[in-house]
């Protein structure tokens, strides 16, 4: 979204709020501004499903951008947000002019705060706008990723030492990842390209959590369901603490005895979660079921019906495993991984959930290295919902193979891409591009508004 769009949205919201004090509800001065705010939001929703307007230290922040001079430019938004103790307004795709107008009535209306304010929103039928009135902070997206990895590491170390981990740190890590996904899903999916060989297990858990939260969001899970899915994904392999490292890291095939031991990890993991405080049953169930396939092959053996959300974990787990270098496997490119998984649709994977997953990550998923018709190499940065074969990319190598030091975003569907098209996906092992470094750098420049 461009700065101009930010400006138009904020300008019209501010005008509507200002006019709400001067004129009665339903006056054209209010409805026209509301209508414009909705129209300009539509442009933003071409590339994302929601955006956040936050109040941080008396200044407005639109997504991660601090708005300069917001106190003089948009005094009414700031005034009403401060008055109602609202830290953030989240506007979702599908918002209507009626919702927007009703929202202005509430914000400019009598003083109610916190839960009451949110209840009033629901009572008025406003479903595409959410208010947050919690202590908020800003965190760097890379710091959130690394923090989540440390959390998993600590949890697993505690279990190995015979302690029962607390669930608070896990819950906070999932909240932060959720905020990252809501703030910039493409950037955070880019981070799943971090496949540190030595830290494999911990990175893998974070990656599966990021993708499961993204898929859960695409499947319209409610807040509590989404949280449970995120926690289960982050902890799905904690049962591996009960399996010796030698078996987990063993190159080549496992003996049948070792294999039987490894297959215990879903049960072991769900036992641990059952004993942890403040864990809902759904988390333990999803962990128990994460290796049971759609056709009930896999393990542990069961004849009972699977929870519909366990396929979220199964699919994201498989995708991250396929795209990772393992002792027994070369990494597949994201495009190859999707192909392999598609062939297992209806067998290992629920066809509907898999379809939603593939729609979410796109034909050329974020992190795919592609060769362009110009001979250049590019990295996919963002799925283009309107043109799945022409994503947003960064061109990182020119046609001679020389690295481009400061690559810029190119929308392959736009005119300034000068007709460049994708010729093929390139296997990352065949080129000297370090995807993990690349996405770490990208994420280190992104701020996320968090609740902690």
Residues at the interface with Fe ion (CB under 5 A) = 237
Nearer to Fe ion (CB atom), residue 183 or residue 212: 212
Rounded to 10 degrees, the C-alpha dihedral 271/276/279/285 comes to 0
DSSP secondary-structure letter at 215? H
Nearer to Fe ion (CB atom), residue 235 or residue 422: 235
Question: What does the alpha-carbon distance between residue 50 and residue 45 come to, in Å, rounded to a whole number?
Answer: 7
Q: How far is the CB of 146 from Fe ion (least distance, A)?
A: 22
Residue with the closest Cβ to Fe ion? 237
Q: How far is the CB of 360 from Fe ion (least distance, A)?
A: 22
Question: What does the alpha-carbon distance between residue 69 and residue 78 come to, in Å, rounded to a whole number?
Answer: 12
User: Residue-wise over 152-163: b if at least 16 C-beta within 10 A, else e?
Assistant: beebbeebeeee
Q: Which residue spans within 148-303 are E strands per DSSP?
A: none
| Residue 82 CB neighbours (<10 A) | 12
Q: How far is the CB of 291 from Fe ion (least distance, A)?
A: 6
Nearer to Fe ion (CB atom), residue 237 or residue 442: 237
Question: What does the alpha-carbon distance between residue 19 and residue 29 come to, in Å, rounded to a whole number?
Answer: 6
Q: Which residue spans within 16-57 are E strands per DSSP?
A: 50-56
Nearer to Fe ion (CB atom), residue 184 or residue 237: 237
Q: How far is the CB of 165 from Fe ion (least distance, A)?
A: 18
Q: What are phi and psi of 273, to 5 degrees?
A: -65, -40
Q: What does each C-alpha distance from 8 to 20, 23, 42, 67, 308 come to in angstroms?
A: 18, 22, 12, 13, 41
Three-class secondary structure of residue 62 per DSSP? strand
Q: How far is the CB of 218 from Fe ion (least distance, A)?
A: 23
Q: How far is the CB of 272 from Fe ion (least distance, A)?
A: 13
With contact defined as beta carbons under 8 Å apart, do 141 and 191 qualify?
yes
Please name the residue that has the structure tokens 């919702």: 99
Nearer to Fe ion (CB atom), residue 126 or residue 148: 148
Q: How far is the CB of 241 from Fe ion (least distance, A)?
A: 12
Nearer to Fe ion (CB atom), residue 254 or residue 413: 254
Three-class secondary structure of residue 1 per DSSP? coil
Nearer to Fe ion (CB atom), residue 267 or residue 427: 267
């Amino acid at each position: 979204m461009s700065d101009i769009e930010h400006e138009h949205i904020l300008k019209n919201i501010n005008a509507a709020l200002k006019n709400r004090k001067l004129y009665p509800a339903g006056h054209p001065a209010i409805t026209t501004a509301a209508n414009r705010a909705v129209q300009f939001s539509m442009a933003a929703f071409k590339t994302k499903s929601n955006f956040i307007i936050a109040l941080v230290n008396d200044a407005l922040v639109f997504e991660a951008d601090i708005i300069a001079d917001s106190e003089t430019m948009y005094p009414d938004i700031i005034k009403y947000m401060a008055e109602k103790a609202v830290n953030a307004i989240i506007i979702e795709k599908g918002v209507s002019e009626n919702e927007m107008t009703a929202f202005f009535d509430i914000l400019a209306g009598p003083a109610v705060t916190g839960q009451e304010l949110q209840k009033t929103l629901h009572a008025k039928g406003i479903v595409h706008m959410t208010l947050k009135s919690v202590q908020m902070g800003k965190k760097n997206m890379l710091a959130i990723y690394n923090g989540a990895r440390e959390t998993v590491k600590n949890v697993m170390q505690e279990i190995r030492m015979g302690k029962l981990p607390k669930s608070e740190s896990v819950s906070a890590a999932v909240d932060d990842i959720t905020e990252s996904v809501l703030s910039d899903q493409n950037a955070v999916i880019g981070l799943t390209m971090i496949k540190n060989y030595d830290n494999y297990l911990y990175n893998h858990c974070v990656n599966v959590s990021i993708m499961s939260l993204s898929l859960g969001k695409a499947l319209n899970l409610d807040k509590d369901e989404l949280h449970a899915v995120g926690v289960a994904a982050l902890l799905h392999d904690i049962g591996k603490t009960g399996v010796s490292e030698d078996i987990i890291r063993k190159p080549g095939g496992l003996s049948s005895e070792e294999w039987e031991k490894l297959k215990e990890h879903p049960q072991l993991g769900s036992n641990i979660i059952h004993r942890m405080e403040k864990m809902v049953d759904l988390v333990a169930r999803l962990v128990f079921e994460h290796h049971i396939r759609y056709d009930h092959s896999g393990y542990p053996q069961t004849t009972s019906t699977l929870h519909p959300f366990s396929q979220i974990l199964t699919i994201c787990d498989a995708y991250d495993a396929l795209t990772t270098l393992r002792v027994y496997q070369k990494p597949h490119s994201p495009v190859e991984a999707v192909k392999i998984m598609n062939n297992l649709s209806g067998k290992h994977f629920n066809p509907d959930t898999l379809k939603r997953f593939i729609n979410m990550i796109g034909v050329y998923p974020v992190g795919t290295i592609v060769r362009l018709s110009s001979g250049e190499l590019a990295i996919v940065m963002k799925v283009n919902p309107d043109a799945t074969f022409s994503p947003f990319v960064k061109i990182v190598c020119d046609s001679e193979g020389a690295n481009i030091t400061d690559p810029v975003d190119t929308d392959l569907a736009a005119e300034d891409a000068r007709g460049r098209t994708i010729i093929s996906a390139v296997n990352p092992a065949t080129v000297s591009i370090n995807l993990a470094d690349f996405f770490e750098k990208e994420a280190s420049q992104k701020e996320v508004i968090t609740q902690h």
